[in-house]
A and B are shown apart, each in its own frame.
Chain A
Amino acid sequence: MANEVCFRTLHLPEPGSLATYRSIGGYETLRRIVTEKVAATEIINQVKNSGLRGRGGAGFPTGLKWSFMPRYFDGTKYLVCNTDEGEPGTFKDRDIIRYNPHQLIEGMCIAAYTLGARVGYNYIHGEIWEDYVSFEKALDDARAAGFLGENLFGTSFCFDLYAHHGYGAYICGEETALIESIEGKKGQPRFKPPFPASFGVFGKPTNVNNTESYASIPYIIEHGGQAFADLGVHNSGGTKLFSVSGHVERPGNFEVNMGTPFAELLGLAGGVWRGRQLKAVIPGGASTPVMPAAVVMAANMDYDSLSKAGSSLGAGSVIVMDESTCMVQTLKRLSYFFFEESCGQCTPCREGTGWLYRVVKRIVDGQGRMEDLDLLTDVSHNISGRTICALGDAAATPVLSFIKHFRPEFEYYIQHGRSMVTGK
């Protein structure tokens, strides 16, 4: 089965409209829990039982994260949604706010009720202006219909939700950088602890989840945590949106059960384009290790299977590369990205990402030396684990995994000054 959770309106006319969402029972789960005053602990238990793990890439159990929010706090608590997807290969949350925004809004309302948050922000990636505008329209519609605002359903429950528009910074996908950005500052990650649950937006307790995580909540509360867990496999509950891009016939988002074999997902995307052979796949976004074809073809799309195969599910951003791909030139582009997007706060990342890019570039420019491969490995190890946030590790991961799996291509490039694959 496909499209069972986040994309469950996709087959209907005007899938993103309020009327369409209402037609499948939208906002009724919210109405029920609010009017029946369902206990917060009961809701958190359902989310824990669902096996839902953070869909933004870290995979942290959502129910556990919710339980970190203080129950009693004298002041405003906040809810934040992270729709700032800018990691190369990731474009799933955009389709949620385009095609099913009300399920996200209902999920955030349920979270707000459960966690006692009075105000929420959805941080939307800067480049998708048209989708930001359409999400603001969805917020207006929800407000007019009485699903956002004061005293909802005639109870004391109040929740206001706003869209905050980013303006071009990958780092703001990191939750504390995102919080800084909501406060109108440079997106530079904060030291943790304190975690957002105790010191978040404006210094107040804040729960931050990914778009797909919140959008899964209405299903979980409507059908029960176990029903969601049963859609997936052990340790990876539910369905997952996979963004498939690169060398496939039909790039796009596909919502399938966790544990779906990679080969099946590749089939949904029409297979490798132009009748070519598969060479490699980055399964979870640019920060996850690349996998050679034979390894990924034997793997399933869930946390444990990809981890055992030496990579990571990440945000489910599957980048497919065919046999014509030069791994050295591809790594150069990825390394430039992390160099460009490093926020500059931590020396190992600010300086290290520059070193990684310049050394890979000099190999591509025909000026590489054999010892550069050790140098790249050394610099990568000196970044990993030595920075405030995960961008440093994210920059090191492609370098280490590309060299590990495709070392002969790098050696050939250094020896001949041209690509083993393209000859150029």
Chain B
Amino acid sequence: MLSQESLAKIDRELNKYPEDHRQSAVMSSLRIAQDELGWLSKETIAFVADYLRIPAIAALEVATFYNMYDLAPVGKYKITVCTNISCMLRESDRIVEHLEHSLGIHMGETTADGKVTLKEGECMGCCGGAPLFHINNKEMCEHLTPEKVDQILEGLK
């Protein structure tokens, strides 16, 4: 189900923990699986659990608890916008409006071509760069303005 490359990455994570505590690698393993497959299906979660030799329910609990895992398909690009206090004070609502208007979707929706999903996020611990969003849980885009958002959207192929 996962590529050799992803499995090698999981093995590297497993090396961080004692041999009898393979469950410690579940968070990274789910992240690696999501990076390859785009989202986490029940089958993917069960596969990761099997690979780690832990009960499937233990992996499912983690996948449902932490909010950066996607338990349903998302667009090729998932844009998670922080709207918490420091971002709100620096007018993240303008960024949200601009994104919704530019993409023709609301928060929580995906564009019809499956390219972009918009999601509201909680504090990302980067409040000095507010307003901000991150893309696919990876790339942090800070000090946003509507113009800068346009540039970023244009760059998404």
| Residues of chain A at the chain B interface (Cβ within 8 Å) | 76, 85-91, 93-94, 121, 125-130, 162, 164-170, 181-187, 202, 243-247, 251-253, 282, 286, 317, 319-321, 325, 330, 333-334, 337, 340-341, 343
- Asked whether B62 is an interface residue with its Cβ less than 8 Å from the other chain, the reply is yes
Q: In the complex, A251 Cα to B31 Cα: how many Å? A: 31
- Asked whether B16 is an interface residue with its Cβ less than 8 Å from the other chain, the reply is yes
Pairs across A and B, CB under 8 Å, 16 listed: A86-B123, A89-B123, A125-B125, A127-B137, A128-B125, A129-B140, A164-B16, A167-B30, A168-B121, A184-B62, A185-B62, A186-B62, A202-B18, A245-B90, A247-B89, A251-B130
Q: In the complex, A107 Cα to B86 Cα: how many Å? A: 30
Q: In the complex, A244 Cα to B128 Cα: how many Å? A: 7
The answer to whether B86 touches A333 (Cβ under 8 A) is: no
The answer to whether B84 touches A245 (Cβ under 8 A) is: no
- Apart from A168-B69, A185-B62, A330-B85: 15 A-B pairs, beta carbons within 8 A: A88-B127, A127-B68, A127-B124, A127-B137, A127-B140, A129-B134, A166-B27, A168-B122, A169-B66, A181-B27, A202-B18, A243-B127, A246-B89, A247-B89, A343-B65
The answer to whether B130 touches A245 (Cβ under 8 A) is: yes
Q: How near does chain B come to A255, taking the closest CB pair, in angstroms? A: 13
- Which of under 10, 10 to 19, 20 to 34, or 35 or more describes the interface residues of B? 35 or more
Contacts of A185 in B (CB 8 A): 23, 58, 61-62
Best-surrounded residue of A166, A168, A182 (most CB of chain B within 10 A): A168
The answer to whether A127 touches B66 (Cβ under 8 A) is: no
Proximity string of chain B (69-98) to chain A, C-beta cutoff 8 Å, 1 when within and 0 when not: 100000000000001111011100000000
- Asked whether B139 is an interface residue with its Cβ less than 8 Å from the other chain, the reply is yes
Q: In the complex, A166 Cα to B69 Cα: how many Å? A: 11
Contacts of A330 in B (CB 8 A): 85, 88-89
Across the interface, B85 reaches (CB within 8 A) one of A76, A89, A170, namely A89
The answer to whether A127 touches B126 (Cβ under 8 A) is: yes
Contacts of B26 in A (CB 8 A): 184
The answer to whether B125 touches A127 (Cβ under 8 A) is: yes
Q: How near does chain B come to A101, taking the closest CB pair, in angstroms? A: 16
- Asked whether B102 is an interface residue with its Cβ less than 8 Å from the other chain, the reply is no
The answer to whether B68 touches A253 (Cβ under 8 A) is: no
Q: In the complex, A184 Cα to B67 Cα: how many Å? A: 15
**Known A184-B23, A340-B122; contact A90-B127, beta-carbon cutoff 8 A:** yes
Across the interface, B126 reaches (CB within 8 A) one of A128, A168, A247, A321, namely A128
Q: How near does chain B come to A171, taking the closest CB pair, in angstroms? A: 9
**Known A166-B27, A333-B84; contact A243-B128, beta-carbon cutoff 8 A:** yes
The answer to whether B83 touches A333 (Cβ under 8 A) is: yes
B124-157 at interface with A (beta carbon < 8 Å): 124-130, 134, 137-140
Q: In the complex, A41 Cα to B24 Cα: how many Å? A: 33
Chain A residue with minimal CB distance to B66?
A: A167
Contacts of B62 in A (CB 8 A): 184-186
Contacts of A168 in B (CB 8 A): 66-69, 121-122
Q: A-B pairs with the 9 shortest C-beta distances?
A: A184-B23, A168-B68, A127-B124, A245-B86, A245-B127, A167-B66, A168-B67, A162-B16, A184-B26
The answer to whether A169 touches B65 (Cβ under 8 A) is: yes
Chain B residue with minimal CB distance to A165?
A: B28
The answer to whether A89 touches B127 (Cβ under 8 A) is: yes
Q: In the complex, A121 Cα to B66 Cα: how many Å? A: 19
Q: How near does chain B come to A191, taking the closest CB pair, in angstroms? A: 19
The answer to whether B18 touches A186 (Cβ under 8 A) is: no
